[in-house]
Each structure stands twice: as C-alpha cells, then as structure tokens.
Structure 1
Amino acid sequence: MKNLSRLLFAMLLVLGFSNTHAQDENNPWAMSFGVNAVDLYPVGEDTPQGDYFDEFFNVGDHWNILPSLSSISVSKYINDGFSFGVGGSINRIEKIGQIGKDIPSLRVEEMSYYAVDGTIKYSFAELVNSKTIEPYIGVGGGYTWIDKIGAGTLNGSLGLNYWFTENVGLTVQTSYKHSFEDYLSKHWQHFAGVTVKFGGTDTDGDGIYDKDDACPEVPGLPEFNGCPDTDGDGIEDAKDDCPNEAGPAELNGCPDTDGDGVADKDDKCPTVAGLKSLNGCPDADGDGVADGDDKCPNEAGPAANNGCPWPDTDGDGVLDKDDKCPNEAGTVANNGCPEVVAPTAEVMTTLNNYARTILFATGKSSFKNETYPVLQAITAILKDYPESNFTIEGHTDSVGSKNTNQLLSERRANAVRDYLISNGINADRLVAAGFGEDYPIADNKTAAGRKNNRRVEVKLRK
C-alpha cells in the first residue's frame, strides 16, 4: 500500500508537469498505461546474474511481473519527432537470476520495486512513412527503489507504437537501466500497454485541428483546410461570391439560371438568356439596345431613337432627323430639301422686260388695264421657280418732290407684290422695296429718259 502511494505521488508529479506546457501540435500529449516486467538477469554480471542479453526472453525464469496496472506515463511532443515524457511504475521482485542450470530461477523474499523516470524519445514515424507503425528510441534517467534502496539510473529505451486509430494504440517497450550506485542492481524493464494521444484542439468539431484549420470556429471540409462550403458547389465560402447558392467556378460560385454566362446576381434578365454587354438581357434585333428598353425590339435602330430606326417620311434617303425638308423629297447634298432651280440670266432678263412694261395710272399705284397680261406672264414665270425668292423694286422719275416719289415707288412695288401673292405666289418668296428717284437708268431731262426711269424691276434674292 505504501508503494502504491508512492506511485500515485509519481503520477501526480507527471500530471503536474504536463499541465505546465502549452499545446502546440495536434494531439501533443500522450498517456500510456499497462504492465511492466523487471528482469535483473541479463546485465553482464557474475552469478547469479548473466551476460548481456543472456536468456533475454526467458519470461518464466527471470521476468518479475505484477499482474495489474503497474506503469503509467505522460509525454509531451516537442518538435521534429522529439517528445519528453515522465513515468512511474511499481512491481514486486521475486526472481533475481540463477545459480545453475539445475536451479534456473533464484527466488528471493518478495521485495518492492518502484521507479520514476524521465525520457526523451525520438520517433521514426516519418522515416517509415506509416500512420500505423511508429518505432522509437529514448534516452533519459530516473530514480529506482528496490526494497527501499534507491539510486539514480541512466536509461536507454527501444519501443514500438501500433496505432489502431489516430488517438489509440498498443505500445511495447524495453529499457535498460544502468544504476549509478553499486548497491542497486542494473536491470531491464519491459512494458506493454495502451497509449492514448490527446490535447489537440478542434474548436468547431470538424475533425481538423485548430492549428491546421483556416476557419477554426466554423465547421468545414478537409479539402478547404477546415473552411466551409455552405452551398456544396466545390468553392469555399470565402472565395464564393454566392456562398448560399450553388454555382460554377467560372462565375465564382454564383448560379446562372438562364445559362447565358452572366451570374444571376449581375443579370438584369436572369430567366432569359442574353448578352454580357447588356447585363444578361437579350437583343433580338441586334442593334445594341436591350429588348426591355427597345421600343422596336424586332427592328434594328439606334439607341438615340430608343432602338427604332429613324424615319424617312419623304423617302428621299435623308433621315427625318437630318432632313431640313422632312415632308418634301430632296437630295442628300441639299440636306433633304429639293435642289433649288434658280432662274437663268435669260429668264431674269425676260422677267424684267415684262416688269418694265407694267403701266400705272399717273401719280398712282393702280394698274392700267393693258398691264394685266404682263402681270400674268410674270406670275407664270415665278411659278416655274418655286424655290427662288425675289425682290420687287419700284423706281420713279425726278418730277415732283423726292418724298412723294419715294412713297409712290413703294406703293407701286407693293401693288405688284400683292398681285403676285393673290395669284398663287408664296408671300415669303417676295419682298417689295421702293427707291424713288435715287437710281435712274436714263436722263430725267428728256421725256424718253423719264419714261425709262418710271419702272418696276424684278431681282433674284439669294
């Protein structure tokens, strides 16, 4: 009972040691518990002990085994395959060797055995590249008591872990303990038991330890280093523009209902296939205006006219928007208006020959009867040039006051203009002007000259 208390005390020391170190690797802690066997025979000594490794596996004659839980240890992973552990063990010594072949086992009165040891181990798991078989070696030291006699020991160990799961395995180990004092026998101690690894933190419970988990507080998948893929589209949420809706990788995880290559979130027409350039909306007539904004969706037209073609009301090839005469066919060169056919010099000469024969009552603006055929001839010529504009000029001789002559010339010019308008000539085409006696074309000193100066002239207005 006293020895058991010492073992429990050693275990408390071990656990106390383990709680002073922070966890820094997956399952950094390991606890082993099982049975140990102490062999005092094959240690290179004289009788009753034997040479090194002599009858090393003679369990029946030389191994002292306490048939109960008799060893426990805790180890902490350090780095690069190294770990440090502390363990405690108890046993009962009844056999220490042999004194002859006839007496293969030298039995002694039952002696107590207990030990506390510290060991630095090196694992060959990476070398053998196995997740199941893990050989290791260890060196360390400790303190061992046999029947209340204690001394320090230098220990060397060789062992093997066989892992049934990531955390649970079978451990077998043999250790040579070399005493620093002659009064404590050198001996071998063998161990077999179960080892449990623990201490790895997995906050989100997704099976990926926090140190390797890029999203340690959110359950995720191994292929994404522990980060989630909520919609299951193979794109982790952090890189998924639509983490709650499955979509292809080329659209960063967003769906495309109409299959037009524009993600629904960016598609103004998500249920109808369209063009990327129009934010996923269709353009049936291919004019670059989305059908929803196109007032003529089946007829191509410019955006400036809401997708409809510009009209050409007069059919002259000049669109109404550019046609200065949209209701009258014209030429492109004349901005959609008819080409202006101006009267020739010969026509103007004819007009003025007629105009000079217009006769008025003396001192008045009323026409003499013989003048009407002349006025009709002038009207007919002007109708032949509907796009030309004219100025009707009135002139007098110098008889009478200048002011009177000015007013008379104006009235006579307007009289001619009024006649032409009343006979179908557009008023906008005609301007009347009187110049009195200012521009004579003959000598006012003669009767013939004064007759020539009393005249009406028609001039082409640009």
Structure 2
Amino acid sequence: MKNLSRLLLAFVLVLGYNYADAQDKNNPWQITIGVNAVDAHPNGDGAPFGESIFDKFADVDNWNILPSLSTISVSKYLGDGFSFGAAGSLNKIDTWGEGNSVDDLSYYGIDGTIKYNFKQGTTLDPYLGVGGGYTWVDEIGAGTLNGTLGLNIWFNENIGFTLQTAYKHAFEDYLDTHFQHTAGLSIKFGGTDTDGDGIYDKDDACPDVAGLEAFNGCPDSDGDGIEDSKDDCPNEAGLAELNGCPDSDGDGIADNKDKCPTVAGLKALDGCPDADGDGITDGDDKCPNTAGPAANKGCPWPDTDGDGVLDKDDKCPDVKGTVANNGCPEVTEEVQKTLNEYAKTINFDTGKSSIKDESAEVLADIIKILNEYPNSKFTVEGHTDSVGSEKLNQSLSEARAAAVKDYLTSNGVDQFRLSSKGYGESNPVASNKTRAGRAQNRRVEINLAK
C-alpha cells in the first residue's frame, strides 16, 4: 500500500505541472503507462561512463522487472521539438549489479526530463532527453542526473508505443549509478482552445469565437439551431427555411425583407396585405376594401354625374351627358332652335353694333344655355338686310356678331368656345322687298360649330 501511495503521489505531481505553457495546437500532452526495468550493472567499475558501463547493457539477467504497472509519465510539448516530462516509477530490486543478489529492495523514482524529438508527426519518433530526479532504494534516496534515449512508435494520431532507456547518475555514494528501461502505451491528447469553448483549435472551425460542438466550434448567437455563418439574421432566432430569420406575421416572408412584418401579406407586395386584391397595399390604398386603380390611389373611379362615363374620362364630370359625347350633354335640334329664338330678339342701335340694354335678359338666357354644354363650341353669326351697300352690310354684320360674342365671354362663357362671323346680306331668310322680311333678315344666330 505504501508503494502504491508513492506512485500515486508521483502521478499527482506530474498532472499538477503548469498547463499555462501550452503552445502547440495538436495534441501537446502525452501520457505513457507501462513497465520499467532497473539495471544496476553500471556500478561495476565504480565510475560513471566507465569501460564496463555498456558491456552487458542487454543482459536481461541483470534487469529488475516488476511484472505489473510500474511507471507512468506525462510530457508537455513546448515548441520547436522540445517537451518537458515528469515520470514516477516503482520496482523491486533482487539483483543490484553483476551477480549481486539482494533481498527485494524497494525502488521508487520521480524524474523530470527535457526532451527533443527529431521527427515529429511521423510514425517513428525518436528523441533524446536530459534531466534529473530523485530515487529511493530501500527507502534511502539521492538525487540523480539523467540522460535519456527513446523512441515513440505511433499507430495513429493519438496512440503509440514508447521504448526508453535512461542513464541515471547518482550524486551520493550510497546510491549507485544505474539504467532504467521503460516500455509502455502512449496517448497524445489535449490542445489549444483559444476561444475557451471546450473545442481544441485543431478541431475548431471557428477557433477565435466561442461556439458549439454541434457546429464544430462555431457560434449560434441566437440559439435557433443555425450557425452564425449560415444565418442571415444571426442575432434573432428564426426559421431554417428562411436562413435563420424570423417571420413574425407567419406569411412566409422574413422580417428583414417584409415591409409589413407584423401583418401577414403577399410576397409580391413585399409582405404587405391587399384586402381588396387590387394590387395596391392597404397602407397605400385610399379604399383598402374596394378595388380600384393605382392611378386613383386604389379607389374606383367615380361617376359624379351618373351619366355612365367615369369622371376620369368625363369631360363634363359635374353635368350629365352622353357616352358618345365624352360625358357631356349634346346640343339637340331643340336646344339649337331655342338658342336662335333667343338670339334673333337681340336688338342693336340702328345702323350700329351696340346692343340695346333691353336685350340683357335674353342674353342671360343664352348664357345659361351655353354653360349647360361646356364642351361644345358655337359660332355667333351676324346677318343684315339688303338696305345699303353690300360692303357696309358686311362690316355691320361682322361687328354685331363680334359684339354679341364679346358680351357672352365677358359674362361667363369660355372665350375659347366661341367664335364670330359676319355674312352681311348674303343669307336672307325672308324677302328683302317687304318690311317684315327685312326685319327677319336683320338677325343674329348662335349655331353649334361643326
């Protein structure tokens, strides 16, 4: 039990070695568990490196072997081929030197070694080492200076077999110089974990950012099961089918692409709703529940005057008209007749174009009729009888037509709807030989422009 306690103590001391010196990224730690053989033949000549030191190096009759687990070591890679290791061992000595039998002396050793590996990353990995330790034989101890030669044979990246020979030169006369050979199973493990996520850098796809084992060390900041590098919305939990982005309104459009993220809508309208199906989002639709064109902000075109012609196409939106006349009322023969019944009663001063005041009432009636047909154009025509010269009559007819036109436009009729023309005595409606006939020929007519 005492021997086992000492071995465990050595093991604890080995594992307590400072981890902070880790530099290598690929399996910097190596632990070896095996057996050891102690050969005290080198004490034969009483001096280190004497002539007989290696003459029976391979004579196993001089070896003391404990047929059980008897050595354990841990080494740590430092960089550039160098590593530091510590080992603990125990044995039973029944031969100490050439043919020198002893009575089962106890043997314990704790050793530290700086090693240099010649060919790292290869199957055959030889090394040299130098170090020191403390060895007890029959519970009497002394310090030793050690030289080591060894070979690792790696079966794969992590598991191998180690053979080692250490020459241990004692500093005290009561402990003889001797060899200690070891053989054991070696395991490489560990590594650098820069981001502290528990995944070594050599296996970490994101070595500088803490992540999850499921994503090879890469993070999933929002915890939605999609690693940040493949997540279009890494800081908001979302859906896999939307590349990790949320869809608050459940319309199948990710919030970051949804112009109406809180209300279910249509993909064609960037996630916004269209209640009346007119292709205009409700937010921009002045009539969201009634289909209408975009030109009228989503509202149906009105027909204010109810004539069957929409206001957008109705040239007289406030006056009932006909489809054939673009929504404006048509001037009928009856209307035309009425206009001329009124027009022929317009009186002028004799031989002049000035309108008598008594004609104001009939002119007002004419204006009212004209304004009922706002898209119709009219011609004011002047006529005379044949009394006087033809030239004078022509001028007088033109002047009187113009006077009526000016009066009408000055009192509310659009000037662009009226024109005037004089015909003189050329178009009589009655005989100029009678007084009654000449009175009929002196007239003004207002006719629909063709």
Residue 414 of structure 1 corresponds to 360
- Aligned to 1:78, the other structure's residue is in SS state strand
Partner AA of 2:369 in structure 1: N
| Residue correspondence of structure 1 range 365-404 to structure 2 within 5 A | 382-383=337-338, 392=346, 394-397=348-351
Quick check: 67-76 or 226-235, which moved more? Answer: 67-76
Distance 1:192 1:254 in 2: 57
Aligned partners of 1:49 and 1:97 also within 8 Å: no
Q: 1:324 aligns with which of 315, 335, 340?
A: 315
Q: 2:126 aligns with which of 137, 140, 150?
A: 137
| Alpha-carbon offset, residue 152 of structure 1 | 5.0
| Residue correspondence of structure 1 range 253-268 to structure 2 within 5 A | 253-255=245-247, 258-263=250-255, 266=258, 268=260
Distance 1:281 1:123, change over 3 A: farther
Distance 2:162 2:299 in 1: 91
| Alpha-carbon offset, residue 14 of structure 1 | 7.5
Distance 1:426 1:394, change over 3 A: same
Q: 1:175 aligns with which of 155, 164, 189?
A: 164
Superposed CA deviations along residues 382-407 of structure 1, whole A, max 9, x for unmatched, are 33789x99994613149xxxxxx96x
Residue 39 of structure 1 corresponds to 39
Partner AA of 1:277 in structure 2: L
| Alpha-carbon offset, residue 213 of structure 1 | 7.7
- Aligned to 1:383, the other structure's residue is in SS state helix
Residue 219 of structure 2 corresponds to 227
Distance 1:161 1:39, change over 3 A: farther
| Residue correspondence of structure 1 range 247-286 to structure 2 within 5 A | 247-255=239-247, 258-263=250-255, 266=258, 268=260, 272=264, 274-282=266-274, 285=277
Aligned partners of 1:215 and 1:227 also within 8 Å: no
Superposed CA deviations along residues 274-332 of structure 1, whole A, max 9, x for unmatched, are 234242424653x3113576576686421343423313466777531342213433467
Partner AA of 2:36 in structure 1: N
- Aligned to 1:395, the other structure's residue is in SS state coil
Aligned partners of 2:274 and 2:281 also within 8 Å: yes
Distance 1:264 1:24 in 2: 43
- Aligned to 1:426, the other structure's residue is in SS state helix
Distance 1:13 1:416 in 2: 129
Aligned length in residues: 370
Structure 2: any 5+ residue segments left out of the alignment?
Answer: 1-5, 45-49, 373-377, 383-390, 395-431
Aligned partners of 1:35 and 1:193 also within 8 Å: no
Identity, in percent, stands at 31
Q: Does the alignment pair 1:289 with 2:280?
A: yes
| Alpha-carbon offset, residue 156 of structure 1 | 1.0
Partner AA of 1:107 in structure 2: S
Residue 120 of structure 1 corresponds to 115
| Alpha-carbon offset, residue 76 of structure 1 | 1.8
Partner AA of 2:131 in structure 1: G
Aligned partners of 1:39 and 1:188 also within 8 Å: yes
Distance 2:327 2:336 in 1: 25
Superposed CA deviations along residues 110-144 of structure 1, whole A, max 9, x for unmatched, are 6978574524254989656xxxxxx7532112357
Q: Does the alignment pair 1:303 with 2:297?
A: no
Quick check: 409-418 or 210-219, which moved more? Answer: 210-219
Distance 1:139 1:410, change over 3 A: same
Aligned partners of 2:134 and 2:144 also within 8 Å: yes
- Aligned to 1:394, the other structure's residue is in SS state coil
Aligned partners of 2:22 and 2:28 also within 8 Å: no
Structure 1: any 5+ residue segments left out of the alignment?
Answer: 1-5, 56-60, 99-104, 129-134, 344-378, 399-404, 434-438, 443-447
Q: 2:369 aligns with which of 409, 417, 426?
A: 426
Distance 1:215 1:178, change over 3 A: closer
Distance 1:390 1:92, change over 3 A: farther
Aligned partners of 2:75 and 2:85 also within 8 Å: yes
Q: Does the alignment pair 1:158 with 2:158?
A: no
Aligned partners of 2:248 and 2:261 also within 8 Å: no
Aligned partners of 1:247 and 1:256 also within 8 Å: no
- RMSD of aligned residue pairs (Cα, Å): 6.1
TM-score, normalised relative to structure 1: 0.54
| Alpha-carbon offset, residue 24 of structure 1 | 5.8
Residue 458 of structure 1 corresponds to 444
TM-score, normalised relative to structure 2: 0.55
Aligned partners of 1:233 and 1:253 also within 8 Å: no
Distance 1:111 1:427 in 2: 137
